[in-house]
Chains A and B, each alone.
Chain A
Amino acid sequence: GQQVMQIPQYQHVQEGEDFTTYCNSSTTLSNIQWYKQRPGGHPVFLIQLVKSGEVKKQKRLTFQFGEAKKNSSLHITATQTTDVGTYFCEAVTGGGNKLTFGTGTQLKVEL
């Protein structure tokens, strides 16, 4: 079955440092979504990537989809305390019928 690995599992950074989380699939994906979950909250959709090699930006967040559509990354430039939370990728295959979440990367930002 499809496996989705997300690394790292945890990341502690000082405010102002950069942060990157990676999502790797064993199979080619239709598309991939990224979500953010604040402590005690529910996952909230951030972005969807569909095209091979696609790069999208949201302010300090940069999302990339690999050329082979098997991996993706989320990069945050100059982290702030408001970035604290767990970031999940959601891999979509089978024409949109099969959804698999990565295990998440928990980000802590220290002043």
Chain B
Amino acid sequence: NAGVTQTPKFQVLKTGQSMTLQCAQDMNHNSMYWYRQDPGMGLRLIYYSASEGTTDKGEVPNGYNVSRLNKREFSLRLESAAPSQTSVYFCATTPLSPLHFGNGTRLTVT
């Protein structure tokens, strides 16, 4: 089925550990996004990629890095996780609009 696939679905990290969240889409869209969702704060944009080979900072980029590996894949890396990064992370893609979201990764940093 066409869509956006995120891995892993759940992750628990200790402060200072690193990890990479993976996102892949088979919709042949140029634009891909990473959002985080926290209670009462809606969806906040971390980074986005308008096309293969380009990435730009969103509203809350600090503590994260991204890689647009190819048109299909857009990964989000936490180099040194902090408790403030406990959140639900969503990857999304769009031809222009609207956004198509993956199922999310629930990350807890202790």
Residues in chain A within 8 A of chain B (CB atoms):
6, 9, 31, 33, 35, 41-45, 48, 88, 90, 92, 96-97, 99, 101-104
Contact = CB atoms under 8 A, between A and B. Distances in A.
6 contacts: A9-B40, A33-B97, A42-B102, A88-B42, A101-B42, A103-B40
A45 B98 CA distance: 7
B41 to A, nearest CB: 6
Contacts of B45: 99
Interface residues of B, number: 19
Interface of B: 33, 35, 40-45, 50, 90, 96-104
A35 B43 CA distance: 11
A48 B97 contact: yes
Contacts of A33: 97-99
A42 B42 contact: no
Contacts of A97: 50
Contact of B97 (A6, A9, A99): A99
Given A42-B90, A42-B104, A99-B45, A90 B99 contact: yes
B42 A96 contact: no
A87 to B, nearest CB: 11
A22 B99 CA distance: 20
A104 B45 CA distance: 15
Given A33-B97, A42-B90, A99-B97, A104 B103 contact: no
B76 to A, nearest CB: 16
B97 A43 contact: no
Given A9-B40, A104-B42, A45 B100 contact: yes
